[in-house]
Each structure stands twice: as structure tokens, then as C-alpha cells.
Amino acid sequence: MNNTSSQHLVFEANMTRYEIILSEFKDRHYGTDKCMLVWLDKGNGGRSFVWAKGDRIYRSYAAEKSGINGADLAGLLSEIKKYDSSLIGELVGFDSRYLS
């Protein structure tokens, strides 16, 4: 992969249609692999969340940093994990009813 890779994904989870941009990139300060999702919930823009590739993601931290509620985060992140399991190590603290 180059320094950056992005994909436009559309999927359904938790009875909601999600449209996201999913990117992988190198952190310019540390050289580590990072991932970013942008949820296009406002047409051409939306909320985002960045994490280290392969990291464990905690619901409370992700919700605080992204401003996305727990149920939507569970749907978004579990679909990303299904799409490419190397991006997310483990989802912690999410209500299992919302994980796809």
C-alpha cells in the first residue's frame, strides 16, 4: 500500500444505512499505521474517528472523540472489522445487540 489508501463504503447495520470513507495512512510524526473513518451523515461531510491500525477500540473513548453515539459506533466499527479484520483488534464496551 502507498502512504494513503481510501475507500468509499456503503452498508446497512442496525437498520441504518451508513456511508463512510475509510482511510489508512502513515502517521507523519511516528511512522505508525493509522485508520480513519468519516461517516458521511451530513451529505458531503460528517463525523470522524482515527485510531492506530489493529488497536483495541473502547466505546467510551471512541464516542467521546468522534461525537458518534454508541449504537452507531457499534454498527460502523463492527462492519469495518468484518470488511478488514486487520484494521481493528477488538471492540470493547459495546452493546452486543448493536454489533453486526
Q: Is residue 25 part of a domain?
A: yes
Q: Is residue 18 part of a domain?
A: yes
What's the domain range around 9?
A: 4-95
Q: Is residue 17 part of a domain?
A: yes
Give tens-digit pLDDT for 68-78: 999 999 999 99
Which pTM value belongs to this model?
A: 0.87
Give tens-digit pLDDT for 1-43: 456 789 999 988 878 889 999 999 999 999 999 999 999 988 7
Q: Is residue 100 part of a domain?
A: no
The DSSP element (H or E) to which 10 belongs, if any, is strand 4-13
Q: Is residue 88 part of a domain?
A: yes
Structural domains in the chain (count)? 1
The secondary structure of 77-97 as a DSSP string is HHHHHHH-TTS-SEEES--GG
Q: Is residue 19 part of a domain?
A: yes
